[in-house]
């Protein structure tokens, strides 16, 4: 998950000089919040809900390669482990993507 978010940050900052990518974790009490911020292409916040859907892309393949599967895969895995995903961004001003995971699961994970 963290690898995928970092790879996305690298992909969307390839035209930036310098590219700036920040990765951090926050203790939120019952959960950990992991975030990856970049100064890349960003996205229109009106379409934020589409980002984690399968095969959804907000940029052309000329701007950034990919199939639209990565963020959907992250979402599926995080939700399975009772976490949440998030994305914040502005066009041409970069984006922050991340997830939260509970420190302890209240019930056993589904098999």
* DSSP per-residue string spanning 66-78: --S-HHHHHHHHH
Provide CATH code, domain 2-102: 3.30.565.10
Question: First CA to last CA across the chain, in angstroms?
Answer: 20
pLDDT tens for each residue of 39-59: 999 999 988 888 887 545 555
Helix (H) or strand (E) holding 8: helix 2-12
Q: 29 pLDDT band (50/70/90 cuts)?
A: very high
* C-alpha 32, offset from chain centre: 15
Supply 79's token pair.
Answer: 């939700």
- For the stretch 72-95, pLDDT in tens is 999 999 999 999 999 999 999 999
Q: How far apart are CA 47 and CA 10, in angstroms?
A: 21
pTM of the model: 0.82
């Amino acid at each position: 998950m963290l690898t995928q978010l970092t790879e996305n940050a690298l992909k969307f900052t390839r035209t930036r000089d310098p590219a700036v990518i920040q990765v951090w974790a926050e203790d939120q009490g019952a959960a950990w919040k992991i975030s990856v911020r970049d100064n890349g292409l960003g996205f229109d916040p009106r379409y934020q809900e589409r980002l984690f859907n399968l095969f959804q892309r907000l940029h052309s393949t000329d701007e950034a390669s990919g199939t639209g599967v990565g963020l959907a895969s992250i979402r599926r895995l995080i939700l399975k482990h009772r976490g949440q995903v998030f994305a914040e961004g502005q066009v041409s001003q970069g984006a922050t993507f991340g997830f939260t995971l509970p420190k302890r699961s209240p019930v056993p994970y589904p098999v």
